[in-house]
Amino acid sequence: MASAKAVHCAMLPNRLGTLTRYPERFGALFCTIPLIDMRRYSKLHAGASWVAEYGDPDDPDDWKFLQEISAYHTAVPDRRYPPILIATSRRDDRVHPGHARKMAAKLQAMGYEAYFYEPAAGGHGYGKDNRERASFTALGYNFLRIATC
């Protein structure tokens, strides 16, 4: 099975959180604009406005819960993760692109087949017009097609 998911990939139900918890359920993943590092999310871009929804990572009780759903913190070496393409936008003013950058780098450092895509265009979407959005989406679905064949 392949999966594509946009925005807040780290939250339940999600794809990156599912990747780190149940990697055997997927043949490949295309994760876009992901909120992954739940320890630092509240310090980046619009993250502070989500504390009431997700919890405060600086509160020990909230962090106890958040660390369990933080894909960045639950990714470990020596698990069989499927291939993944993590995509973000350099100009996203809501979900900081650092989430995607960090996760891709961590998975790659652990030896996993993790790919990263970050176009300059976008924002909190996939591009400034339909052509850019279609290109972004096609990239992801082509990755899923190739990775699962």
Assess contact for 73 and 38: CB atoms under 8 A. Answer: yes
The pLDDT value given to residue 35? 87
pLDDT beneath 70: ranges in the chain: 1-16
Is residue 33 a contact partner of residue 137, using CB atoms and an 8 Å limit?
A: no
The tens digit of pLDDT for each residue in 38-80 reads 999 899 888 888 899 999 999 999 999 999 889 999 999 999 9
DSSP annotation of 22: -
pTM of the model: 0.85
Between CA 42 and CA 31 the distance in angstroms is 20
